[in-house]
């Protein structure tokens, strides 16, 4: 299992590392030109330097946005296509290995999660660098003051960040499992593997939305009561506690929905990979 994960990481690392390196280099260049552009507006650089700095910063910013979108798209394409290829001619090699369908599936999910989270962190760090280069050192002081102000009012931003991380992780996992389940089911639905995958994906999305809607009906009343309680509170301490309750309740309910859907899709994908495998 560990060897399989190691091989999968090596097979995908080259593309991701090149993409990350390009993004970081452009981000640094954009940050430097952005800082130069700020200096030019404050009169520290000549008029000709202002024009050059502005042009370079604009160009670097455009390239950074394009690369950011490219990294996002590449991340999705790679983990989908590598799983998709398992059900074609490459599948005869993959499924002849002394590895169970369960291990194949877990490996693909873990590696996809790893690269998705890594891509998000790289993009977040580069974006943070862009903001800091334009706003200057004062940006960090303002951010620290904002954090202290929120904490001083009795709120818990750390809890909010944890809730956001849990929601993001559960959402990403569900998205991955929707893709993998559709790919596993697709070849057994119609003769065209691609057409079957698209059809299976559409049906899965409809079913998951239906299940989510049903589960929401059981939780909407509690959430409405929490929001109503939040609107009636006047003191900061009580408001903070009520706001935390809303965040925690929303996180627990949404994550529970995602876990149920992900587990169901995992079982479905595993069944087709182990019992009804169809290599097109």
Band of the pLDDT at 129, cuts 50, 70, 90?
confident
Say which residue the tokens 């593309």 belong to. 15
pLDDT at 211: 81
Tell me: the pLDDT tens digits for 23-64?
Answer: 888 888 877 776 666 555 544 445 565 667 677 777 877 888
Question: Cα dist. 187→74, 119, 134, 269 in Å?
Answer: 24, 30, 51, 12
Q: Is residue 246 within 8 Å of 227, Cβ to Cβ?
A: yes
Q: Higher pLDDT residue, 189 or 133?
A: 189
CA-based nearest residue to 112, from 221, 9, 1: 9
Tell me: the pLDDT tens digits for 201-224?
Answer: 899 999 888 887 787 776 666 666
- Structure pTM? 0.80
Q: Which pair of structure tokens corresponds to residue 33?
A: 């030109």
Q: Which pair of structure tokens corresponds to residue 221?
A: 């009343």
Mean predicted lDDT score pLDDT of the chain = 80
Q: What is the Cα–Cα distance from 253 to 163, expressed in whole angstroms?
A: 11
Tell me: the pLDDT tens digits for 88-100?
Answer: 777 777 777 787 8
> What DSSP character marks residue 1?
-
Q: What is the Cα–Cα distance from 5 to 2, expressed in whole angstroms?
A: 5
Residues 6+ positions from 25 with CB-CB distance below 8 Å: none
Q: Cβ–Cβ contacts within 10 Å for residue 183, how many? A: 26
Question: Max alpha carbon distance in the chain (Å)?
Answer: 72
Residues 6+ positions from 243 with CB-CB distance below 8 Å: 155, 230
């Amino acid at each position: 299992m560990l060897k399989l994960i190691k091989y999968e990481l090596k097979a995908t690392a080259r593309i991701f590392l090149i993409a990350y390196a390009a993004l970081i280099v452009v981000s640094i260049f954009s940050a430097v030109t952005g800082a130069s552009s700020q200096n030019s507006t404050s009169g520290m650089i000549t008029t000709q330097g202002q024009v050059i700095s502005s042009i370079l910063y604009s160009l670097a910013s455009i390239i950074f946005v394009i690369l950011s979108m490219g990294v996002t798209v590449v991340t999705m394409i790679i983990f989908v296509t590598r799983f998709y290829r398992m059900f074609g001619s490459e599948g005869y090699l993959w499924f002849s290995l002394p590895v169970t369908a369960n291990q194949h599936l877990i490996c693909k999910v873990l590696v996809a999660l790893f690269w998705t989270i890594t891509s998000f962190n790289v993009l977040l760090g580069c974006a943070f660098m862009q903001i800091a280069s334009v706003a200057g050192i004062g940006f960090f002081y303002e951010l620290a003051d904002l954090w202290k102000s929120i904490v001083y009012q009795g709120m818990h931003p750390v809890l909010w960040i944890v809730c956001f991380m849990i929601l993001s992780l559960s959402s990403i996992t569900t998205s991955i499992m929707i893709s993998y389940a559709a790919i596993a089911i697709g070849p057994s639905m119609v003769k065209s593997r691609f057409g079957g995958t698209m059809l299976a994906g559409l049906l899965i999305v409809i079913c998951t939305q239906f299940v989510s809607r049903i589960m929401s009906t059981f939780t909407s009343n509690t959430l409405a009561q929490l929001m109503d309680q939040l609107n009636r509170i006047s003191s900061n301490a009580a408001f903070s506690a009520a706001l935390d309750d809303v965040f925690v309740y929303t996180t627990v309910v949404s994550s529970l929905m995602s876990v149920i859907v992900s587990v169901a899709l995992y079982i479905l994908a595993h069944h087709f990979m182990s019992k009804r495998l169809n290599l097109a």
